[in-house]
Amino acid sequence: MLSGPAGVGKSTIVAYLREHHPDIWHSVSVTTRPQRPGEVDGIDRHFVDGPTFAGMVEADELLEHAQYAGHWYGTPRGAVEDKLAAGVPVLLEIEVQGARQVRRQLPDALLVFLAPPSWDELERRLRGRGTEPAEVIAARLATASIELAAEEEFDATIVNTSVPEAAEALVALMHAE
């Protein structure tokens, strides 16, 4: 499982793995966040409304779930359990609160923390994303510093100096399991 602060490049690593390591199965998260241009429902995320998400939580259909930046995210339990039972390598790309829940649910899971090369680099990436108001950026930086502090809870850390190197390091860790 790959976690780490927002802006560190988790989704870029996932995109690289989809292309270069199609044997790894990626969980498709359920989210209440609006669909972004270019995203495909059912491939990138399952886009649902709040009541639908709440119903999934109620029915215990999610392995973990967490609120992030005002929206809900969760991992569908059934698909992950089926793949694990079939011996398929499974990758979850989730934020830190969800990672803690997976640790409790699946004690054997490998929890990998993706770290930025430096705080300055992370700050640059978080600021550089768009033209958001200063308070949005400040909130994001505050969340990122809390997320960075979670690193010690993880089984391994990979520093995202380059996407192919970090992605291949993750594959090596998964195969070593």
Residues that bind ligand 5GP (CB under 6 A): 6, 10, 29, 33, 64, 66, 68, 73-75, 93-95, 98
| Contact residues for 131 (Cβ-Cβ < 8 A; gap 6+) | none
Decide whether 98 or 116 has the Cβ nearer to ligand 5GP.
98
Q: 25 - beta bridge partners?
A: 90
Crossing angle between the packed helical segments 134-148 and 119-127, to the nearest 10 degrees: 150
We find the least distance from the C-beta atom of residue 10 to ligand 5GP, in angstroms, to be: 5
With respect to ligand 5GP, which residue has the nearer C-beta, 7 or 176?
7
For residue 49, the minimal CB distance to ligand 5GP (Å) is 16
Residue closer to ligand 5GP, measured from CB, 56 or 64: 64
Give the nearest distance from C-beta 97 to ligand 5GP in angstroms: 6
Smallest distance from the beta carbon of 135 to ligand 5GP, in angstroms? 19
* Residue nearest ligand 5GP (C-beta atom): 98
Given the complex with ligand 5GP, which of 64 and 109 has the nearer CB atom? 64
Please identify, using beta-carbon distances, which residue of 45 and 169 lies nearer to ligand 5GP: 45
Q: In this structure, are residues 163 and 8 in contact, taking their beta carbons and an 8 Å threshold?
A: no
Tokens of 112: 């990998």
Burial 105-142 (b: 16+ CB within 10 A, else e): ebeebebbbbbbeeeeebbebbeeeeeeeeeebeebbe
